[in-house]
């Protein structure tokens, strides 16, 4: 049990994870790394769900189930994203996001 650890600590961790993910998404050029950044963002959200569920409504389970859904969706999303990345690699011989810029004005 997580006796003695206050709520704020979890929130600080999840906030840090979220912004690390956002920064990674914006800064890194490698598509795989960007995908990992997205996973960080999703997992920070998962932590929030589980923690709030535990601290606010200990006898209910919605938050935990929600985080399970997010894990599932994240897996599906990762498979689609990796398929896209492989196709991009086949076409451009690299996976730098700056080269994927055909959709513009």
Partner 1 sequence: MTGYTYTVFIIMIPLVMFLVTGLLGMKWKPIISGVLGTIGMGISWILSLATAGSYFFGAHHAAGFQAIIPFEITWLKFTENLIIKMGIYLDPISVMMLVVVTTVSFMVHLYSIGYMKGESGFQRFFAFLSLFTFSMLGLVIATNIFQMYIFWELVGVSSFLLIGFYYQKPSAVAASKKAFIVTRFADLGFLIGILILSFVTGTFDFGKLTNPDGAIFASAASVSFLGISALTWATTLIFIGGAGKSAMFPLHIWLPDAMEGPTPVSALIHAATMVVAGVFLVARMFPVIHFQAPATQEIIAYVGGFTSLFAAVIAITQYDIKRVLAFSTLSQLGYMMLALGVSGYGGEEGLGYMASMFHLFTHAMFKALLFLGAGSIIHAVHSNYMYDMGGLRKYLPITHMTFLIACLTIAGVPFLSGFFSKDEILVAAWHHDKLLFAVEFLVAGLTAFYMFRLYFTVFWGKDRHYHHTPHESPLVMTIPLMFLAVASIFAGYIPFTELVTSDKLGFESEMNFAVAIPSVLIGLFGIAMAWILYKKESDVPAKLAKSWGILYTATYNKFYFDEIYLFVTRKIIFNYISRPIAWFDRHIIDAFMVGIGTTTEKVSYQIKGMQSGQLQHYAFMFVAGTLALALSMIYFLI
- One DSSP character per residue, 5-60 reads --HHHHHHHHHHHHHHHHHHHHH--BHHHHHHHHHHHHHHHHHHHHHHHHHH-TT-
Cα–Cα dist 34/38, whole Å: 6
Q: Which is nearer to partner 1, 19 or 65 (CB)?
A: 19
Q: Which is nearer to partner 1, 20 or 68 (CB)?
A: 20
Query: What are residue 96's phi and psi, to 5 degrees?
Result: -85, 125
Q: How far is the CB of 28 from partner 1 (least distance, A)?
A: 9
Q: Which is nearer to partner 1, 48 or 53 (CB)?
A: 48
Q: Which is nearer to partner 1, 14 or 53 (CB)?
A: 14
Record the tokens describing residue 1, joined without a space. Answer: 């049990």
Q: How far is the CB of 25 from partner 1 (least distance, A)?
A: 6
User: Using CB under 8 A as the criterion, which residues of the chain lie in contact with partner 1 when the complex forms?
Assistant: 22, 25-27, 29, 97-98, 100-105
Q: How far is the CB of 99 from partner 1 (least distance, A)?
A: 10
């Amino acid at each position: 049990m997580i006796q003695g650890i206050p709520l704020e600590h979890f929130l600080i961790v999840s906030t840090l994870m979220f912004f690390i993910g956002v920064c990674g998404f914006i800064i890194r050029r490698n598509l795989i790394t960007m995908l990992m950044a997205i996973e960080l963002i999703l997992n920070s959200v998962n932590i929030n769900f589980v923690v709030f569920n535990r601290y606010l409504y200990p006898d209910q389970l919605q938050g935990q189930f929600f985080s399970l859904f997010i894990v599932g969706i994240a897996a599906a999303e990762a498979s689609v994203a990796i398929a896209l990345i492989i196709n991009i690699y086949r076409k451009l011989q690299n996976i730098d996001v700056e080269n994927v810029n055909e959709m513009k004005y």
